């Protein structure tokens, strides 16, 4: 099996990768993880066909291989024989994907549109609406998806607030962000960003007494 996991929803792609790793382990495969930045195609082929001293087959995980390339290797003499999963940190274009062999499994994971609509509601005047949409998202997606999205969006609002002339984005997007940023003071945005950093830090260290969904609930209620 050769699979490509890609899309802007990294939480979903990582979850799927863990599921595949678990399946490989249950089947007794030796898992080999390679860094796509430094790995050549022939190395992937070699590792995929290797076996351990105990006769175990291999399952190869390659992270970020295709995202750094403009297309499949032109010198690719053959595809790997065995189990290879390519995990990509972003979405690959349809043109790029069309060059892959048809027998490869392509799994695409997108951030739901509701999540972006939720980001547009963030403001001191629409707290209840934001909370409502947040809980709608949680019906289908984990809170771990929402935290980095809010942080990314708040950074954009700070950018527009501080230095709109340097914002390299389409006019319509800049205009929308500018209108949303005007609902906050600079101090409110920086405070919100600091709170997000604290939540992220406590999540990574396991020091928060609350689940992430509850921490974000409190955050949204205080905007």
Q: Which residues 6+ apart lie within 8 Å of 86 measured at CB?
A: 2, 3, 4, 5, 6, 36, 62, 65, 66
C-alpha span between 42 and 49 (Å, rounded)? 11
C-alpha span between 40 and 62 (Å, rounded)? 11
Output the pLDDT for position 79: 77
| Of 57 and 180, more confident | 180
Output the pLDDT for position 58: 86
Q: What is the mean pLDDT of residues 202-220?
A: 93
Output the pLDDT for position 69: 79
**Angle, CA 110 vertex, CA 82 and CA 108 arms, to 5°:** 20
Task: Provide the whole-model pTM.
Answer: 0.80
Q: What is the mean pLDDT of residues 114-139?
A: 95
Is 60 exceeded by the pLDDT of residue 192?
yes
Least confident of 56-65, 104-113, 129-138, 190-199: 56-65
Percent of the residues in the chain that have a pLDDT greater than 70, as a whole number: 94
Q: How confident is the model at residue 49 (pLDDT cuts 50, 70, 90)?
A: confident
Q: What is the mean pLDDT of residues 106-116?
A: 96
Output the pLDDT for position 126: 92
Spell out where 109-223 has E strands: none
Is 80 exceeded by the pLDDT of residue 165?
yes
């Amino acid at each position: 099996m050769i699979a490509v996991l890609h899309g802007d929803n990294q939480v979903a792609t990582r979850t799927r990768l863990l599921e595949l790793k678990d399946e490989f382990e249950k089947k007794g495969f030796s898992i080999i993880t390679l860094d796509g930045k430094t790995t050549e195609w022939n190395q992937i082929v070699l590792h995929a066909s290797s076996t351990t001293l105990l006769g175990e087959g291999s399952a190869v995980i390659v992270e970020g291989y295709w995202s750094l390339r403009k297309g499949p290797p032109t010198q690719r003499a053959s595809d790997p024989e065995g189990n290879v999963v390519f995990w990509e940190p972003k979405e690959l274009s349809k043109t790029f994907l069309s060059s892959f062999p048809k027998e490869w499994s392509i799994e695409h994971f997108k951030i739901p549109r509701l999540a972006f609509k939720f980001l547009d509601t963030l403001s001191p005047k629409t707290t209840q609406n934001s909370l409502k949409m947040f809980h709608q998202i949680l019906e289908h997606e984990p809170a771990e998806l929402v935290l980095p999205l809010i942080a990314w969006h708040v950074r954009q609002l700070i950018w527009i607030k501080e230095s709109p002339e340097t914002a390299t984005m389409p006019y319509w997007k800049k205009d929308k962000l500018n209108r949303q940023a005007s609902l906050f003071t600079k101090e409110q945005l920086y405070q919100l960003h600091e709170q997000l950093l604290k939540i992220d830090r406590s999540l990574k260290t396991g020091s928060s007494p609350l689940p992430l969904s509850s921490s974000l609930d409190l955050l949204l209620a205080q905007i």
